[in-house]
Amino acid sequence: MSQPHGHADAPYLDPGHSADERTADLLGRMTVEEKAGLIFHPMALVSPGGELTGTFGPLAIPATEDAVVSRRVNHLYIVGSSDPSDIARWHNRVQEVAESTRLRIPVTISTDPRHAFTRILGTGAVTEGFSSWPQAIGFAALGDESLVERFADVVRRDYLAVGIRLALHPQADLATEPRWMRVAGTYGEDSATVAALTAAQLRGLHGAVFGDSSISTMTKHFPGCGPQRDGEDPRFVYGKEQDYPGGRMEEHLAPFIAAIAAGTRQILLSYGVPTWPGSAGVGFCFDRDVVTGILRERLGFDGIVSTDWGVINDVNLLGQDMPAPAWGLEELTPEQRILRALEAGVDQFGGEYRPELVVDLVRGGAVTQDRLDASAARILREKFALGLFDQRRVDVDRVPELVGQPRDVATGRELQTRSLTVLGDRIGLPLAPGTAVHLDGLDPIAFGGIATVVGPEEAQLTIVRVEAPFEPRAGGFEALFHAGSLELDDAAAAALSAKLATGSTILVVDLDRPAILRPHVEADVLIAAFGASDRAIVDGLFGRQPMEGRLPFDLPSSEAHVEASRTDVAFDTESPLFTQGFRAGG
């Protein structure tokens, strides 16, 4: 048997063998404990300077070295410092720790999206140090597959440079319930558009041939998380039901079918409980009819299937006690929940690190060695396919020249501007350089050298930027998300109307979800933003880049129409104020 260079004691085949051969060989050398470690995927904290950390209670994060060495975990989802060089240094240190273990299995590093401009935490990572592009819904406003693929190729190169090898994206959900808090991460509510743009993103992340220059992809949230009852998120007990009153399950599956055809490597399951006839009444990750019946057998998916984060153990996140979203199985122990998920067909548990429970299940006879081996083999095969065993370090010194390249930063800003959608223009954009403007909700620095920023009395016009309406939620973790009603309450509406009654006004609304745009339509210019910085907005207002976006979803005309619509049916709100594809001027 050949050995890796410089490590004669490491028992695995060299890259001259196929990924299947290398997987079978290594699997045969592993203990139950080592196999169990493979199927957990907890969070890890990247500290400033790329230092490894101890336990971090506010996010239920284990000590990195303990997770890798003692628990044999070798998948880590990163949070914390977003500096690319820090991530690269941290990656190399983690791999050094992995090399100290008996089998030296390299750690797969994963992340949520890091390249989209967002003001909302909880749905992605901060973009500091990486180029900043529109959110997925902004790419939907542009509707161009080639732009999505180009963007994803930039993400691929950046991730490779810092050691991230698994993307917890794309998000293939349909935004059919406009109140859902995760709309900004979708490609809208049209199934065909979502399918096409999802496949384009996968092509860019995988590269021409899947291998050591590719990023593995975990498409989410199967079988489609859009039709949430009342738009509530299934991570929370009040949002666990997923409804299909229009019988449109197939439309929600279509983007996942396209993703599988495009070669997605992994699938992340939704937390939700379906309410269709005959439902088992449990969350999707515990439902064998969904995981094995639909995903494995009907759709033919043989990649890695993961639960969403934290379905096994209750946790405290950011000071908030949160029950595990093991919906329908709340009375079961963590060990029993793991058993149900494995019986359903799950391979890996996101956000968890309890391999000792799997060991107990195997040794007690509840889980067979063959069942554990099936999941372990899928996971090992992916590591070999990515070349993780053969290239264990990244070049930290090269990170500044490889990540956040000026051309990528410029293109990201350009597409932020191009995705802006003009819904009304009564003054005739673009603005003339030097226009005297009063700003509300925008950074004056972004206007430097382009406009003259003045007080309201001296202004030729007022530019206001606001978030789409939402109902603030209590709790440390829940407070990160925007949920609830899509319209302003009476006091907020009156305050906004007062701002828009002071001469000529431009209003920019950040549409992380659809919004009910009264009284917003009182503005002389109304613009929808889908992940755009203040500088990108300036570029659009002053004609430095065209604003080309078209609405990626309908904008309802009332909350009553939203409440009356069917959660699983696209474009189902009555008499929308603006329809998908709208842009002022045609």
- Give catalytic residue positions: 308
Strands (E), 225-344: 241-242, 266-269, 273-274, 304-306, 315-317, 320-322
Nearest by Cα to 554 from 389, 434, 439, 423: 423
- What sections of 176-315 are H helices per DSSP? 191-206, 249-261, 288
Q: What are phi and psi of 564, to 5 degrees?
A: -85, -15
Among all chains, which residue has been given the structure tokens 């009555």?
574
Q: Output the six-digit token pair for 162.
A: 């810092």
Nearest by Cα to 91 from 103, 116, 74: 74
Burial of residue 417 (CB within 10 Å: 0-12, 13-18, 19+) is: buried
Nearest by Cα to 457 from 505, 508, 503: 503
Residues in Cβ contact with 365 at an 8 Å cutoff, skipping those fewer than 6 apart: none
3-state secondary structure 218-236: EEEEECCCCCEHHHCCCCC
Please give the Cα distance from 303 to 404 (Å, whole number): 31
Please give the Cα distance from 406 to 346 (Å, whole number): 42
Nearest by Cα to 239 from 567, 552, 569, 572: 567
Please give the Cα distance from 461 to 249 (Å, whole number): 48
Q: Output the six-digit token pair for 525.
A: 């210019």
Please give the Cα distance from 69 to 74 (Å, whole number): 9
End-to-end distance of the chain based on CA atoms, in angstroms?
67
**Cα dihedral sign for 276, 278, 281, 285?**
negative
Q: Output the six-digit token pair for 214.
A: 């590719």
**DSSP summary character for residue 250:** H
Please give the Cα distance from 90 to 394 (Å, whole number): 10
- Residues 84/154, Cβ–Cβ less than 8 Å: no
**Sequence letter at residue 87:** I
Residues in Cβ contact with 536 at an 8 Å cutoff, skipping those fewer than 6 apart: 117, 413, 416, 417, 420, 545
